[in-house]
Amino acid sequence: MLAYIARRLLMVVPVLVGISVVVFLMVHLIPGDPVQVMLGERATDEEIARLRQELGLNDPIYVQYARFLGRVAHGDLGRSLRSNSRVVDEIAARFPVTIELAVASILIATVFGLLAGCVAAVHQHSLFDYFTMVLALVGVSMPVFWIGLMLVILFGRHLGWFPIAGVVADGIELARVTNFPLLDSLLSGNVAALRSVLSHLVLPSITLATIPVAIIARMTRSTMLNVLRQDYIRTAKAKGLAHRRVVYKHALKNALVPVVTVVGLQFGSLLGGAVLTETVFARPGIGRLVVTAIFARDYPMVQGVVLVGALTFVFTNLAVDVLYALLNPKIRYA
Amino acid sequence: MMRRVLIAALVLVCLVVFPATSFGAKAGGTLVYGRGADSDALDPHMTTSGESAVVIVNVFEGLVKYKEDSTEVEPCLATSWKTSADGLVWTFTLRKGVKFHDGTPFSAQAVVFDLDRQLNKENPYYLEGKFPYVKFTFGMIDKYEAVDDYTVRITLKSKFAPFLKNLAMFAAAIPSPEAVKKYGADIFKHPVGTGPFKFVEWIPDDTITLVANEGYWGGRPHLDKVVYKVIPDNAVRLMKLEKGELDVTEGINPNDLGRIKANKDLVLLEKPGMNVGYLAMHCQKPPFTDKRVRQALNYAVNKEEICKYLMNDQAVPATGVVPPSLWGYDPAQKGYPYDPKKAKQLLAEAGFPNGFKTTLRAYTAPRAYNPVGDRLATAIQSYFKEVGVDAKIETLEWGTYLAEGRAGKHEMALFGWMGDNGDPDNFLYVLLGSDNFGSGNRAFYKNDEVDELLKEAQQTYDEKERLDLYIKAQRIIVDDAPWVFLNHTKQLAATRKDVKGFALHPTSNRFFYSVWLDR
């Protein structure tokens, strides 16, 4: 098992190099003079020359790349051009908010996706099967920001069940220790804050879960259908095992491998794809950060977020691979 | 008689005890201000962002300030000032007994410290390249000194009348020197000023919280607390306003204007902003060297239609350069009404009875002075076509667009300007003075008489004389028509009905000192 993990870790190295090159080149691939773009319509020639010097853009490109790698290795992603704050600090303040949302969404998506997929597979061609699959199709095709707005209008504005936007209600003090709102409210033992944070999490996590829940449900259904037709399932049934046991122990475990892949991939993309949900629900996460940075042409910030996002994606996939090996010994020994 | 004396005494007592309380104003409450984007830095000198300025102007103050509804200037931390006979030396007498929020006293030394921090590269708190506005606000300063604790003397390199307006800008507000020393490069997260509100907390991309400064020299503000809340989506922000979770919101979808007007709990505010959108014609390149051609193109474009329909009533047509919200605007100026017949006639006189071919450069994304991006170019193109002018639209990436605009590679190009200090010099000299070819003057317009008038206005300290000079210059400019004068976009905001005293300032700053809640 360890050898397998080590092998997977080694394979990550070239990916990391690739990411660093792409992130580094981002500034250099902008059409026109990046400095002119950064400084905007009021820049003087003097300011342009000074910023070029400051960013080291006058040095040969390999020198610049080496310097960039050196800085990143020390955890220094530079300072934002827009606000002068440290990129690392900004990311550290926002990323937990996004992670919490993504985790909540993927939990919802996995639970409901697996459940719906299994039931649909077991009762293939039933009304439930058709209904969930149509619903899944709708879920995948619906734009996230639209679903978000509809949920806000229905549950926030008309029914008033959930708050419209934000992370915690105004007037509730939330101690910020880890920057994970849920964790912070738990740690501080503040029940009012915990309730507020949870209720603020409901609509955005449902919104963000719509696409993955649909994908997971469809994936589970098709792999389950495949597995349920296998000989060993028939054997298990023939042995007289309970239907429930056959489905949830024998079939589901084997059907899980492709589903885990999808869950892993979806989780990775949720971390980066929360932009619209964060915008609609006014959650101060990493997606919002990168959008603001892009509009402000704040390149160090964009580079930082892309780097962190890519690393998260890579390591999520690594974790998924390890999970495979646990689920299916065949993969470990391959 | 006795009764009258008693009443008079009571009124006097009231005035002394509640100096800041406008009549009937209720004290207390929290105002939640909704907006689409967060501030970037809360040090007055380290930002150019309007979203930062709306916070800064409530925490900090400068030597002078804008009047509540115009860009005229009145005393603030300086109670009076005088200039030397040659107009170079400005002496400010400072307000006594003012304290920064950290308890340290405001004095002439604080003013000098602040100027030195921005202008002297040897100052330990100078930050290279981090003071984007300093060249504009204080670039004309030669020397500064504290004459005594409450007198500051500033010497300019040359006479410069807009200097006083610069001092009223948010970027000229004065932070506590002790705070600057304490926080160093991170001062932008720890604003400490003398203003009516004190900074409490900033959660990035979420909220900024201010509380009333109980010891404010002008008397405590009515509100206990101001919360700036970032809600990026315009529709969601409006819903929060409707539910009463916000008290004020800015950034409104044009489609929602009717909904706001129909809601009796809400009030819609609108006012032209301090900006201008225009189409620059390169005055050094034929056929735009001919004034009649430039005038013709002004007559050819239906600005009313653009503002009303294309821009959804979010803009007013421009009749000249200076926007109507500004001191220096010429109300007598009627500009160029839509008159395609006259356009054709002028073109014929200039030797183009069948029009001509040209290129029209445009950028794609909407900008503050142009809410519709490149659709504006398409509209102008079709108006031009009606008078026989065939303009091919060239859309460039923004960086290249700016660089080529500075280099003058365009024939016609869309540009715009957001004012800085509310002075006409900041529009006329910057955008049309021949000293600023390329950098601000993208029409490469040169008229010696205009140049002279604008220079003279910079050196005239008498406001009335100055105004005359600007009006005169503008009339020549409008007649010369180096631009197709297009539009000034409006500022829009909606408030709950019980929010009182909230006003849209021409500078787009938002002052909460006189705001109160009728609850």
Of A268-277, B61-70, B390-399, which one has max mean pLDDT? B61-70
Whether residue A258 is found in the same domain as residue A145: yes
Which of B129, B236, B245 lies closest to A280 in CB terms? B236
pLDDT at A179: 83
Residues of B in contact with A170 (CB under 8 A): 30, 32, 207, 227, 229, 245
B137-142, long-range: CB < 8 A, 24+ apart: B137/B166, B137/B167, B137/B169, B137/B171, B137/B172, B137/B421, B138/B166, B138/B172, B141/B115, B142/B88
Instruction: Please compute Rg for chain A using Cα positions.
Output: 24
Taking the C-alpha atoms of residue A233 and residue A179, their distance in angstroms, rounded to an integer, is: 47
Whether A170 contacts B32, CB under 8 Å = yes
Average pLDDT of B208-222?
Answer: 96
B79: pLDDT strictly greater than 90: yes
Whether B122 contacts B133, CB under 8 Å = no
Whether A132 contacts A116, CB under 8 Å = yes
Whether residue A102 is found in the same domain as residue A178: yes
Residue ranges of alpha helices (H) inside A43-86 are: 45-55, 61-73
Whether residue A255 is found in the same domain as residue A161: yes
B20: pLDDT strictly greater than 50: no
Assigned domain for B209 exists:
yes
Whether B55 contacts B192, CB under 8 Å = no
Residues of B in contact with A149 (CB under 8 A): 233, 235-236
Whether B487 contacts B318, CB under 8 Å = yes
Assigned domain for A85 exists:
no
Q: Is A82 on the interface with B (CB under 8 A)?
A: yes
Tell me if B204 and A149 make a contact (CB, 8 A cut-off).
no
Whether residue B169 is found in the same domain as residue B79: yes
Residue type present at position A163: P
Residue ending a domain, among B173, B190, B207, is B190
pLDDT band at A274 (very low <50, low <70, confident <90, very high): confident
Q: Give pLDDT tens digits for A30-53.
A: 666 667 766 666 667 777 787 777
Q: Is B465 on the interface with A (CB under 8 A)?
A: no
Decide: helix, strand or coil at residue A264: helix
Whether residue A28 is found in the same domain as residue A162: no
Average pLDDT of A305-328?
Answer: 84
pLDDT at A49: 80
Q: Is B407 on the interface with A (CB under 8 A)?
A: no
Assigned domain for A5 exists:
no
pLDDT at A298: 79
Give the A:B interface size as CB pairs under 8 Å. Answer: 110
Whether residue A132 is found in the same domain as residue A43: no
Whether residue B455 is found in the same domain as residue B509: no
Average pLDDT of A231-243?
Answer: 84
Taking the C-alpha atoms of residue A237 and residue A267, their distance in angstroms, rounded to an integer, is: 35
Q: Give pLDDT tens digits for A74-125.
A: 888 888 877 778 899 889 888 899 999 999 999 999 999 999 998 898 888 8
Q: Is A153 on the interface with B (CB under 8 A)?
A: yes
Residues of A in contact with B205 (CB under 8 A): 94, 284-285, 288-289, 292
Taking the C-alpha atoms of residue A322 and residue A330, their distance in angstroms, rounded to an integer, is: 12
Whether residue A127 is found in the same domain as residue A206: yes
Residue ending a domain, among A284, A305, A327, is A284
Residue ending a domain, among A38, A73, A108, is A73
Whether residue B287 is found in the same domain as residue B262: no
Q: For residue A334, give how far its alpha carbon lies from the nearest alpha carbon of chain B (Å).
A: 47
Of chain A residues 231-250, which have a CB less than 8 A from chain B?
Answer: none
Average pLDDT of A204-229?
Answer: 90
pLDDT band at B19 (very low <50, low <70, confident <90, very high): very low
Residues of B in contact with A42 (CB under 8 A): 48
Q: Pick the residue of A39, A42, A153 with the most B CBs within 10 A to test the interface with B by mutation.
A: A42
Q: Where are the beta strands (DSSP E) in B315-362?
A: 315-317, 357-362
Q: Pick the residue of B187, B238, B240, B404 with the most A CBs within 10 A to test the interface with A by mutation.
A: B240
Of A132-136, A273-277, B74-78, B290-294, the least confident? A273-277
Assigned domain for B216 exists:
yes
- Domain, as residue range, for B448: 275-489
Tell me if A288 and B129 make a contact (CB, 8 A cut-off).
no
pLDDT at B493: 93
Q: Is B201 on the interface with A (CB under 8 A)?
A: no
Whether residue B291 is found in the same domain as residue B364: yes
Whether residue B380 is found in the same domain as residue B317: yes
Whether residue A147 is found in the same domain as residue A40: no
Q: Is B232 on the interface with A (CB under 8 A)?
A: yes
Q: Is B400 on the interface with A (CB under 8 A)?
A: yes
Please name which of A216, A195, A181 lies closest in space to residue A100, comparing C-alpha atoms. A181
Taking the C-alpha atoms of residue A203 and residue B271, their distance in angstroms, rounded to an integer, is: 36
Q: Is B399 on the interface with A (CB under 8 A)?
A: yes
Bridge partners (DSSP) of residue B496 are B266
- Which residue is closest to A53 within chain B, CA to CA? B129
Average pLDDT of B428-442?
Answer: 90
pLDDT at B172: 95
Assigned domain for B385 exists:
yes
- Domain, as residue range, for A190: 94-284
Residues of B in contact with A152 (CB under 8 A): 236, 239
Whether residue A69 is found in the same domain as residue A118: no
Q: What percent of chain A has pLDDT over 90?
A: 10
Taking the C-alpha atoms of residue A184 and residue A178, their distance in angstroms, rounded to an integer, is: 6
Could you give phi then psi for residue B486, rounded to 5 degrees? -105, -70
Domain count, chain A: 2
Tell me if A50 and B129 make a contact (CB, 8 A cut-off).
yes
Q: Is B12 on the interface with A (CB under 8 A)?
A: no
Q: Give pLDDT tens digits for B322-335.
A: 999 888 999 999 99
Instruction: Please compute Rg for chain B using Cα positions.
Output: 25
Decide: helix, strand or coil at residue B500: strand
Whether residue B473 is found in the same domain as residue B501: no
Whether residue A111 is found in the same domain as residue A69: no
Assigned domain for A100 exists:
yes
- A95 vs A245, which has greater pLDDT? A95
Assigned domain for A307 exists:
no
Assigned domain for B11 exists:
no
Q: Pick the residue of B30, B40, B242 with the most A CBs within 10 A to test the interface with A by mutation.
A: B40
Q: B88 to each of B107, B147, B458, how far by Cα in Å?
A: 22, 16, 12
Residue identified by tokens 């932008």 is: B188
Q: Give pLDDT tens digits for B231-254.
A: 988 888 999 999 999 999 988 887
Whether residue B76 is found in the same domain as residue B113: yes
Whether residue B405 is found in the same domain as residue B467: yes
Of chain A residues 131-150, which have a CB less than 8 A from chain B?
Answer: 145, 149
Domain count, chain B: 3
- Is residue B291 classed exposed, middle or buried when 0-12, 13-18 and 19+ CB atoms within 10 A define those classes? middle
Average pLDDT of A243-260?
Answer: 82
Assigned domain for B386 exists:
yes
The ipTM value here is 0.75
Of chain A residues 5-44, which have a CB less than 8 A from chain B?
Answer: 30-34, 36-37, 40-42, 44
Whether residue A63 is found in the same domain as residue A207: no
Q: Which helix (H) or strand (E) holds B293?
A: helix B291-300
Please name which of A276, A93, A101 lies closest in space to residue A200, comparing C-alpha atoms. A101
Whether residue B131 is found in the same domain as residue B66: yes
CATH number for the domain spanning A200: value is 1.10.3720.10
Tell me if A157 and B185 make a contact (CB, 8 A cut-off).
no
Please name which of A230, A272, A278 lies closest in space to residue A251, comparing C-alpha atoms. A230
Residue ending a domain, among B138, B168, B190, is B190
Q: Give pLDDT tens digits for B375-433.
A: 999 999 999 999 999 999 999 877 778 888 888 999 999 999 988 888 999 999 999 99
pLDDT band at B355 (very low <50, low <70, confident <90, very high): very high
pLDDT at B152: 97
Q: Is B238 on the interface with A (CB under 8 A)?
A: no
Whether residue B496 is found in the same domain as residue B485: no
User: If you write DSSP's letter for every residue of A124-187 in order, what string do you get?
Assistant: TTSHHHHHHHHHHHHHHHS-HHHHHHHHIIIIIIIS--S-SSSSS-TT-----SSS-HHHHHHH
Whether residue A147 is found in the same domain as residue A101: yes
Model pTM?
0.82
Q: Is B204 on the interface with A (CB under 8 A)?
A: yes
Whether residue A144 is found in the same domain as residue A275: yes
Assigned domain for A303 exists:
no
Assigned domain for A23 exists:
yes
CATH number for the domain spanning B242: value is 3.40.190.10
Q: Give pLDDT tens digits for B154-202.
A: 999 999 999 999 999 999 999 999 999 999 989 999 999 999 999 999 9
Whether residue B220 is found in the same domain as residue B350: no
Tell me if B240 and A280 make a contact (CB, 8 A cut-off).
no
- Averaged pLDDT of chain B: 91
Residue identified by tokens 């008693």 is: B6
- B471 vs A311, which has greater pLDDT? B471
Q: Give pLDDT tens digits for B295-318.
A: 999 999 999 999 999 998 889 999
Q: B302 to each of A106, B183, B317, B343, B417, how far by Cα in Å?
A: 53, 53, 9, 12, 21
Residue type present at position B259: R
Peptide bond into B287 cis (omega under 30): yes
Whether B425 contacts B161, CB under 8 Å = yes
Whether residue B311 is found in the same domain as residue B459: yes
